[in-house]
Amino acid sequence: MPQDPLLLTEQERILQRAVHDFADNVLAPRAGELDEREEFPWENFRGLADMGLLGIGVPEAYGGAGGGFRESSIATEEIARGCAATSVIYGAHLSLATQTIARFGSDALKARFLPALAQGRRVAAFALTEPEAGSDVASLATAVTRKGDDYVLNGSKLFITNGDVASVYVVFATHDRALRTKGIDCLVLEKGTPGLAANRQSGKLGMRASSTAEVVFQDAAVPVENRIGEEGTGFYAAMQILESSRITIAAQCAGIAQACLEAAARYAGRRHAFGQPIAGFQAIQWMLADTAVEVDAARLLTRRAAVLKDMGLPHGTESAMAKLFASEAANRAADRAVQVHGGYGYFRGAPVERYFRDARVTEIYEGTSEVQRLIISRAVLQALASQ
Ligand SMILES: Cc1cc2nc3c(=O)[nH]c(=O)nc-3n(C[C@H](O)[C@H](O)[C@H](O)COP(=O)(O)OP(=O)(O)OC[C@H]3O[C@@H](n4cnc5c(N)ncnc54)[C@H](O)[C@@H]3O)c2cc1C
C-alpha cells in the first residue's frame, strides 16, 4: 500500500484498502477498453456510488458520508491509479459541482439536490469555462438576466466534464460584465430545462472515457431560488471551490504516477536485455527511484493541503503547490514509464501509453501550471512584503 501508514488513521486505511482493491479488481481491467471506445463508464460510477464514495464531504444529514478532503483525496488517488478517466468524472461530480451546492447552497437547494448526488442517482457538472474565458474566469460572458421570479441564461460553456451525462449543472454567469468578478452569479440548472443543451466534444488526447461537452443556454430559465449564494458572489464561490478541488487533482496525479511506477517496475523485472532483466541496469533503477520519490512528495503535499482544508485553515497556496508539483510529477512519471517499456510503451495495449496521454491534461485543467505558479509566487511576494 503506497501511503505511509503512520500518516493515516485506522478508518482512512480501511477506506484506502477498499478503494485500492476496487481499482485493481474493477477499474483497471476495464480502463483500456473504455479509453478506446471513449465510453462513459456508468458501471464504474455506480460502483463508486455503491461504495459510498460519492458522499464523501457531504453532510450525513443530506445523505452523504461525512468526512472531508483527507478522505476524498485518498479515494481519488486510488481511483486514478486504476482508471484516471473515472477519477476525472468523480472529481467533477464531487469536488466541483456537489461541493459547490454543499458549501454555498441554501438549505432548500441542499435538501433538493445533495441526497441524489451523494448516492449517485444523478451526475453533476461544473460549468465555468467558456470558449473565450478559461484561465481568465472574470471575462466570462454567459449572461444571466432577472425576469420576474426567474433568471434567464444565454451563452455557452466549453470543456465541461460530465457535460452530456449530467442531470445537474452548477453554472456561472454574469449579470454585468463591467463588474468583472463582482458581476458573477452561480446557479443550479437541471437537465430538461428548455433552452439547455449539451454537445459532446470527442477526440481528447487522454481521459477519453470521461465525457467532455459544450453546454449551451438559449433563454434557459430557472427559478430565482436556484441561485447558489448571494448575487455577485459566484466568482468567490468558484475560486474557493477550485482552491480545494485542486487537492483532489493533486491526488489524482499521485495515483497516475503510482500506476506508472508499478507498471515500470513490473516490466523492468520481466524484460531482458544483454542477458539480464533491465531492472538490473542502473539507468532503469534511477528512473524508478526518481518516480518513487516524486510520487511520495506529491502525496505528502496533497496530504498537507487536505489536512489544512479539513481544519478550516488557509490552504490556497498549499493546494496550488500540490497541484503544480503532482501534475508535473505525473507527466515525468509517465514519460519515464514509457521509456522503461521501450517500443512496447509507445503502442495502445501498454497501459503506460494511456497513462502518458491521461497525465497531460492535469497540467491544464483546474488552473494551468502557469496559473498555479502565479498563485504561489504572489504568496511568496506578499509574505516578503509583510516582513
Ligand atoms: C479534459 C478537460 C476537462 C475540463 N473540465 C472542465 C470542467 O468540468 N469545468 C470547467 O469549467 N472547465 C473544465 N475544463 C477547462 C479547463 O479548466 C481550462 O481548459 C483551463 O482552465 C485553461 O483555460 P483555457 O483552455 O481557456 O486556456 P487559456 O486560459 O486560454 O490559456 C492558454 C495558455 O495561456 C496561459 N495563460 C493564460 N493566462 C496566463 C497568465 N496570466 N500568465 C501566464 N500564462 C497564462 C495558460 O497557462 C495556457 O498555457 C476542462 C478542460 C479539459 C481539457
Q: 69-82 and 10-22 helices cross at what angle (nearest 10)?
A: 20
In eight-state DSSP terms, residue 161 is: E
Q: What are phi and psi of 276, to 5 degrees?
A: -155, 160
**Could you identify the atom of ligand 1 that is nearest to the CA of residue 161?**
8
Which CATH fold topology does 235-385 show? Butyryl-CoA Dehydrogenase, subunit A; domain 3 (1.20.140)
CATH superfamily of 125-232: Butyryl-CoA Dehydrogenase, subunit A, domain 2 (2.40.110.10)
**Which residues on neighbouring strands pair with residue 257, listed in sequence order?**
none
Per-residue pLDDT at 191: 98
Model pTM above 0.85: yes
Q: Where exactly are the structural domains of the chain? A: 5-122, 125-232, 235-385
Beta strands in the chain (DSSP E): 124-127, 143-147, 150-161, 168-174, 184-190, 196-200, 212-223, 227-228, 272-273, 276-277
139 lines ligand 1 (CB under 6 A): no
User: How many Å apart are CA 139 and CA 156, to the nearest integer?
Assistant: 13
211 lines ligand 1 (CB under 6 A): no
**Which residues on neighbouring strands pair with residue 171, listed in sequence order?**
127, 187
For residues 73 and 303, the answer to whether their CB atoms sit within 8 Å is yes
Q: Is the CATH number 1.10.260.40 carried by domain 5-122?
A: no
Per-residue pLDDT at 138: 96
Per-residue pLDDT at 387: 85
Distance from chain centroid for Cα 80: 10
134 lines ligand 1 (CB under 6 A): yes
**In whole angstroms, how far apart are CA 12 and each of 5, 54, 69, 73, 74?**
9, 16, 11, 10, 8
Per-residue pLDDT at 112: 98
- Ordered per-residue pLDDT tens for the chain, 387 residues: 455 656 899 999 999 999 999 999 999 999 999 999 999 999 999 999 999 999 999 999 999 999 999 999 999 999 999 999 999 999 999 999 999 999 999 999 999 999 999 999 999 999 999 999 999 999 999 999 999 999 999 999 999 999 999 999 999 999 999 999 999 999 999 999 999 999 999 999 999 999 999 999 999 999 999 999 999 999 999 999 999 999 999 999 999 999 999 999 999 999 999 999 999 999 999 999 999 999 999 999 999 999 999 999 999 999 999 999 999 999 999 999 999 999 999 999 899 999 999 999 999 999 999 999 999 999 999 999 988
Per-residue pLDDT at 5: 58
Those residues with Cβ within 8 angstroms of residue 130's Cβ, 6 or more apart along the chain or in another chain: 140, 141, 142, 155, 156, 157, 158
In the reported structure, the alpha carbon of residue 368 is separated from the centroid of ligand 1 by a whole-number distance in angstroms of 6
Per-residue pLDDT at 6: 67
